[in-house]
A = this chain, B = another copy of it.
Amino acid sequence: MTRRTASRRGTPPAEPKYWQLKTALTDALDAEFSVGQVLPDERTLAARFGVARATLRQALDQLELEGRLQRRRGVGTTVAPPRVGVDVSPARQTWPGAEDDPWSVDGFAVAGAPPVVAHALGVPRGTALPVVSRALVAEGQPVAVERLYALPSPEPADGVADADEALAALRRQPLEGQDRSVELGSADAEQAGALDRLPGSPVLLVTTRYGAAGRVAAVSLATYRADTCRLTFGDQPLALTAS
């Protein structure tokens, strides 16, 4: 196959191979595969489509990014289930750790504030803060991890000793407001381990600021698996879910 056989001036738009591959695979996924089914291995697929493995992988990368596929080293590539919806509405004005909070506490430490947290809380960089680590599981799968940084509470002598104490200290203050932001990021080694992904996997980074006593009293950095999660918010008054 000499490239660009280009009989006549042909090749008008020149659509990349990996893009055509992705389209072909998407169609095949819709038509011939069911959730959980394992695909042929990459070398076989590449041969079948007549491309190099790197090119095929470019197409698979995209499909994994879109949540259509799930790849596991040593195991294989499987068809992914639809993304799970996770409610992140700031509407229910409650502190973390409230009654029906689905997050589970995972650890506690006193550590230096990362720059972004220090900035949000208005403290110098590296200030020692109580940090609560939490995790969220949905449908049997870990979907998010969180680090919650609290401003040292004024009332107990100083310093809380564990996660429950830290959360209780927050709850003693009236919550005046909260806001969130969502952006794309990539998992560091630690997050990747907790989320059962490889480092560098795409994640949705949700930053929450909790307001109390006229200032930001706590900041949470939550990391959601971008391949398996769909974040929802707003009043969901309309029941239209069945297929």
Contact = CB atoms under 8 A, between A and B. Distances in A.
Contacts of A66: 184-186
Interface string A221-243: 00000110111111111101001
A94 to B, nearest CB: 13
B238 A19 contact: no
A85 interface: yes
A27 B209 CA distance: 27
A199 interface: yes
A202 B65 contact: yes
B226 A238 contact: no
Interface stretch (A43-51, A137-145, A147-155, A171-179): A171-179
A177 B235 contact: yes
Contacts of A53: none
Interface in A129-166: none
A234 B183 contact: no
B181 A231 contact: yes
A205 to B, nearest CB: 9
A233 B226 CA distance: 19
A119 interface: yes
A181 B238 contact: no
Interface string A178-205: 1111111110000000000001101010
A120 B239 CA distance: 10
19 contacts: A62-B200, A65-B185, A85-B181, A90-B234, A120-B240, A176-B237, A177-B234, A177-B236, A177-B238, A179-B232, A179-B234, A179-B236, A181-B230, A182-B182, A183-B230, A184-B204, A202-B202, A211-B237, A211-B238
Interface of A: 19, 22, 62, 65-67, 83, 85, 90, 119-120, 122, 176-186, 199-200, 202, 204, 209, 211, 215-216, 226-227, 229-238, 240, 243
Q: Name the 5 nearest CB pairs between A and B, nearest first.
A: A179-B234, A90-B234, A184-B226, A177-B237, A183-B230
